[in-house]
Amino acid sequence: MELSYNNLWKTLIDRKMKKGTLCQEAEISTSTMSKMKRNEPVSLAIILKICEALNCNIDDVVTIESSEQRGA
């Protein structure tokens, strides 16, 4: 099983928001954003900050995918 932040990127596109703007509004570092770009885990506190900044649910940010879903 792996994390996927594809829903976050879609949410940002839908809201016409740049990743840098999200970093500022959610008060997260660019290194955290880099981890998310590589689908690496970040703390639940970070996910909560993002959800609060975007006024969205956790499934609008991150999903857990099985290897079958990822095409492996």
* pLDDT tens readout for residues 44-62: 999 999 999 999 999 999 9
The structure's pTM equals 0.86
Q: From the CA atom positions of the chain, what is the Rg in Å?
A: 12
CATH 1.10.420.10 fits 2-65, yes or no: no
Question: Which residues have C-beta within 8 Å of that of residue 17, sequence separation ≥ 6?
Answer: 54
The DSSP line for the chain is -EEE-HHHHHHHHHTT--HHHHHHHHT--HHHHHHHHTT----HHHHHHHHHHHT--GGGT-EEE-TTTTT-
pLDDT tens string 22-45: 999 999 999 999 999 999 999 999
